[in-house]
Chains A and B, each alone.
Chain A
């Protein structure tokens, strides 16, 4: 039997539709075997149960707000000793695109003289992970990643490698993307004019705007009572016949879909193997095999 690579100890999700793991689980229960309608951009940020987080959120871009809320749930049991030996992996497709566009506006409007330093520091992709590291006090490596084909599997691979290197004891994997009118418009043009159908997923309100965060540990060191799920394999490119995909007709991209799979795995009886599938624009799939723990 394949040894587990990753133990999922806690997780968090935030979008306008699923404000917590519990509401997502309830939604999955209600929609078994039916396509799960995912998020749409939200206009406001409802309060959390943490006053410190509530005071931090308003000054941040919406991508940070999504990420902070998911991370807050995934790190509910955090302490400084743990965070000193924790790494953060944050993957985003679009990053803080609105800030980048706003910075370019400030640059173009002032002939380069008065470009906004505040917007510049918000315009780089890594700003989301950096703000999160500062807020939560994460002192291990904080890597900002992106991947066009395997945004989920590549992060899980990297998390497994980081834990195997023993430089860290925990990895917080986080996926975050924000609603952006510019991004949506660009993608519509990309689909229409360039035949770039991989952009199509960003052009409707069923896209994965929001954030999902997982707290991962080495399975052999995690207390069995703390483990929600074990991820057995993050590097499979062929579906393991003769297993039949037995869960839901999941959409095939986006971190929220992984969360749906996680929720389903947590709900499942444990008798059937559960796979999260990720399919690239060419139709090649990779599978993450997960087993729910008692």
Chain B
């Protein structure tokens, strides 16, 4: 664990590589980032599902999912949608530029507990960012898990993140990768339809399986409904929440969903817990 007695002081980091995942108004850009200080870098040990406060000095910080697994190497990846002041400033950054990083924050997916089970990730849009570290982690530890199924969808093929990785995934016999887009496109040889419908079509068995979902609220709602129809118990379902955050360390107050601080008690929640939190789906 990193020992830093002032949780508001960020680490300096350098953008090692950056590329656009999607285009348009709300483009998504991925940053591969390396922490500048060697000791901090060695000490940094995030787990899939955790987030970090990333920012630009003079502009501010945003809480962003860490979209890589620690098994991938001594770097961090963030996939950021251009939305507000901070994310606009982040989008200006190019290879070699500096950003700040604080974290890692929050709990994580209990991947140790899930050993021996089949892992089913169901992502939509930018919601695939916190799913990706699970996929990468399981890929690096196939022997420990009972298999991996990935469902990922977006409005159009242009809105899918991590496109460059799907070809390798198609070659991977252990991974069952299912892509879908909302409306028909030329040259698209995967599924067409919404993510929750695709889940029903695939009809995965709930037996010894853990389902994790993240995406737009409306998608999550129907995915949860459909998982229940397929026979999944609440305790077999996980999701990850986001709320506006400023501190990341359970002080500034705003990220609470009911009595839970999303930055501390989350972002990962088991559905059995989550359905008892009145504001969780607000």
User: Are A and B bound to each other?
Assistant: no
